[in-house]
Every structure is written in C-alpha cells, then in structure tokens.
Amino acid sequence: MSDIAEIKIDGKVYEFPIITGTEGEKSIDISKLRELTGHITLDLGYKNTGSTKSAITFLDGEKGILKYRGYPIEQLAEKSNFLEVAYLLIYGDLPTEEQIVTFQSKITKQTLIHEDMKKFLDGYPSRAHPMAQLASLVCSLSSFYPESINANSSPEAMDHTIIKLLAKLPTIVSFIYKKGLGHPLIYPKNKFDYVSNYLHMTFGQRTEEVEIDPVVVKAMNTLLILHADHEQNCSASTVRMVGSSDCNLFASVSAGIDALWGPLHGGANQAVIEMLETIKEDGGDTEKWINKAKDKNDPFRMMGFGHRVYKNFDPRAKIIKKACDDILDKLGINDPVLEIAKKLEEAALSDPYFVERKLYPNVDFYSGIIYRALGFPTDMFTVLFALGRLPGWIAQWKEMHTNKEPIGRPRQVYVGHTNREFVEIEQR
C-alpha cells in the first residue's frame, strides 16, 4: 500500500506523506499543504482532522475498542483501580508496588487546599452550578502556587504541579458539594486511599466518621477509570489548545472543565437523568420521546445517545450498564428511571433512525443512574466526570509539552464582506 497521497489542483499533482499509526490507522500529513498549494483544508468540528500524534489512548469507533496505553478498558475496569490507572496514563506504564506506594504517599501529603480558597466558596450563591465553581477554583490554584505558572519548568517541577492537582481536586470537589448543602466541610484523612478519601470527604459527617461501603468504593473506582481519558475529545483538545500557549496546567485544566460542562459533552450525564425524569413525569411513553428525538423540527435530542467516534457500542456504556444492575441490586435500590432507560435503549436500537445513524448509548447514558444510586445530586454528575477525566487531561497536557508541540492556531475560510469604506454615523 502506498505511503504517498496525491492531490491534483488545476492539473498539477501534489504529493503528501501518509502516516500510519501503531494500530494501523491512516493519516495524510498536510503540514506543507498551504506552502505547496496555497490551499487549506476545511473540516467543521475537526471530524476528519488529527491534531496530534499521541501514545496515550487508542479507540476504534467502528469496533468499539478503547485502550489506555495499550491496556483494554475492560481489563482495567475489572482488575485495576483509579489511582493506578492515573499513574498509567500520566507516566506511560502500570506502576510497580514501590511506584504506586510512592505515588500515593506524594498525593496524600498534598490533599489540603489553602484555607483562603474557602473564601471563594463563600462568595457563591448556594445553588451555583458546581462546574462553574470547579473551573474557577482549579484556575485559582495558580494564584496559591505561582511556581506552577511556568509551564516549561523542570520535569521535577512539572511533576510536582501534577501531584498537587491530582491531590487537591477531590478535596475541592467535596468542598463544593458540602458547601452547596450548607454542611460543614470534611477534611481529607491520610489513612484513606485516593477514592476512599474522596468518599469520606463527600459523605462523611463532622460528628462521626461514616463507614465507607466497599461496594461504593469499587463502583467509584470503576466509574472514574472509565472516564479517565478518551483521546482528543472536546475537553482534552481544549486543554491541549490552552496549554499550547505555554499556559500553566491549572488554567489549562480549568478550560477543559468548562468545555466538559457542555450538554453535548460531559454535561450529558446530567442531561440524561433530567431527560429520564421528564419522560417518567410525562407517563413513561418512550415511543413518544423516541419520535421527538427523530423529529427535525423538535429540538429534543436523546441525551446519552450518539458519539462522534463510536459508531458501534461505546465499550464504557456496556461496562456501566452491567455495573448499574449490580450496584443497584447490591444497594437494594429500585430506580424507576433505570427501567425507562432500558426501554429507551431497546426501542432506539431497533429504530431505523438510530440504526442508520449508528447512534448507540454512550458513556453518559447509564452513569448518572449509578451516581444517583451512590447518593450524588444531579448537578454533581459532570463534576464527577471531571474528577475521572483529570488524569487524562494531565497526560495530554504533559505529552504536548514533552513533545514541544507548536501553539495551536487553525486557519479559516473567510466568508465576510470583502472591502467597505468607512461611513460617518450621520450617513449610515
């Protein structure tokens, strides 16, 4: 098979190299396209455009394959834990016993946030969306750790910043949650592992230390692993874009949090539960809502369905759907919206509209049902997505800096006015 692509413009043939990835996917390197031809490409939403070469995550949307650093997501979700997967994504290999103990120890020492950061929480109205608070608090870390602002510092300094962010995010997330409830903040305890500490800070009480259910710990580890990275999705691309200007990690991740908030992206897990609740309140007529999703004149979309890359089942959705049944069963919870979700999925997967467009349940379709079963309010769901995605964002930002990639600056096709003379306001 040729490793050259030819483009013919006005009778002249131009050659461009074909780059083949380690999993066999093909790309045409157009780095010199404008220089050679005076043309640029146009690809709204970058549906066909690769922005980088990455060794972090591989997914095959046609086959429903997802791997972190070569390890299948199914194996990691079943056999690993979130901190180990975070290490894998950021440093490239599964840690040895000594490495994970050191990693956990470094994180344990950094779980507190500056007491002055609590003043930001006092400034928000009680129903402020947690994602708004999360984005600003994460960016504010750069004010308390100014040494982290230099994105091109030494590898040791970069790693110190990475540890700080990994360690402090669970504390920030639980403080936002507790403040929203008007409850006292619960501080981290060094005896807990990463996920247990988060659950302790979230569900613990000032008056007593609540027992942390191992079922809940396992469920949270699984959910966080499944959300840990997803190659060049909207929020990861945002982190890379902002980071490409040599912006610090805290501000780059803060931008990623904002991108994730959108209901077409990470905000879908909140939108799915709101959709299921609406359908339940409306009498549970799934057929009616399937038809609304198909109606081009109706703004309603089946949230949690469809994906830019997966044109087969999202492998994460399969794992989460099974976990959903297991966890609700173990916790003895019967959530009526689960039945509505299953009816919707069954109806959609046999409906030509969804089948022709290869619209399947994605990671967000069932995750909210588990989060709700674990006791989280709906507006915290996307924050939990961010908690899981943090190692992926960090790995993407670190890879971009390590590879010294150029500042991101796409081109455009200008379609505005060509030339106009200024007219004084009296003559307009």
The catalytic residue positions are 307, 364
Give me the amino acid identity at 374: L
Q: Distance from first CA to last CA of the chain, Å, rounded?
A: 61
For ligand SDX, the binding residue among 84, 345, 364, 399 (CB under 6 A) is: 364
Task: Give the number of other Cβ atoms within 10 Å of residue 190's Cβ.
Answer: 9
> Which one, of 340, 343, 363, 347, lies nearest residue 274 by Cα?
340
Stretch 284-323 residues interacting with ligand SDX (CB under 6 A): 293, 301-309
Question: Per-residue x/- marks for ligand SDX, 11-50, CB under 6 A?
Answer: ----------------------------------x-----
For ligand SDX, the binding residue among 362, 367, 382, 396 (CB under 6 A) is: 362
Query: Considering the rule CB under 6 A, would residue 359 count as an interface residue with ligand SDX?
Result: yes
Q: How far is the CB of 101 from ligand SDX (least distance, A)?
A: 30
Query: Considering the rule CB under 6 A, would residue 169 count as an interface residue with ligand SDX?
Result: no
Assess contact for 360 and 349: CB atoms under 8 A: yes
Query: Considering the rule CB under 6 A, would residue 264 count as an interface residue with ligand SDX?
Result: yes
**Alpha carbon 233 to chain centroid, angstroms:** 8
The backbone torsions φ and ψ at residue 20, rounded to the nearest 5 degrees and listed phi first, read: -110, 125
DSSP letter (8 states) at residue 408: P
By beta-carbon proximity to ligand SDX, the closer residue of 139 and 348 is 348
Query: Considering the rule CB under 6 A, would residue 171 count as an interface residue with ligand SDX?
Result: no
Query: Considering the rule CB under 6 A, would residue 56 count as an interface residue with ligand SDX?
Result: no
Query: Considering the rule CB under 6 A, would residue 178 count as an interface residue with ligand SDX?
Result: no
For ligand SDX, the binding residue among 39, 282, 357, 402 (CB under 6 A) is: 357
Question: Per-residue x/- marks for ligand SDX, 180-219, CB under 6 A?
Answer: ----------------------------------------
> Which parts of 282-377 fold into alpha helices (H)?
286-294, 315-330, 336-348, 352-356, 363-373
By beta-carbon proximity to ligand SDX, the closer residue of 16 and 310 is 310
CA separation, residue 31 to residues 15, 23, 152, 161, 280 (Å)? 12, 22, 25, 33, 52
Which residues make beta-bridge pairs with 184?
none
Q: How far is the CB of 84 from ligand SDX (least distance, A)?
A: 20
Q: How far is the CB of 357 from ligand SDX (least distance, A)?
A: 4
Query: Considering the rule CB under 6 A, would residue 384 count as an interface residue with ligand SDX?
Result: no
Residue number of the CB closest to ligand SDX reads 306
Stretch that binds ligand SDX, among 26-34, 166-174, 192-200, 359-367 (CB under 6 A): 359-367
By beta-carbon proximity to ligand SDX, the closer residue of 158 and 242 is 242
Quick one: 216 exposed, middle or buried, by C-beta within 10 A (0-12, 13-18, 19+)? Answer: buried
For ligand SDX, the binding residue among 69, 265, 372, 398 (CB under 6 A) is: 265
Structure tokens at 56: 């972090």
Which residues make beta-bridge pairs with 6?
15
Query: Considering the rule CB under 6 A, would residue 165 count as an interface residue with ligand SDX?
Result: no
For ligand SDX, the binding residue among 107, 139, 257, 363 (CB under 6 A) is: 363
By beta-carbon proximity to ligand SDX, the closer residue of 311 and 330 is 311
Query: Considering the rule CB under 6 A, would residue 233 count as an interface residue with ligand SDX?
Result: yes
Q: Is 8 left (phi over 0), alpha (psi -120 to 50) or beta?
A: beta
Strands across the sheet with 4-9, in order? Answer: 4-9, 12-20, 26-28
> Which one, of 153, 168, 206, lies nearest residue 402 by Cα?
153
How many separate helices (H) and strands (E) can be counted in the chain? 18, 6
Query: Considering the rule CB under 6 A, would residue 226 count as an interface residue with ligand SDX?
Result: no
- Which residues are at the interface with ligand SDX (CB under 6 A)? 45, 230, 233, 264-266, 268, 293, 301-309, 357, 359, 362-364
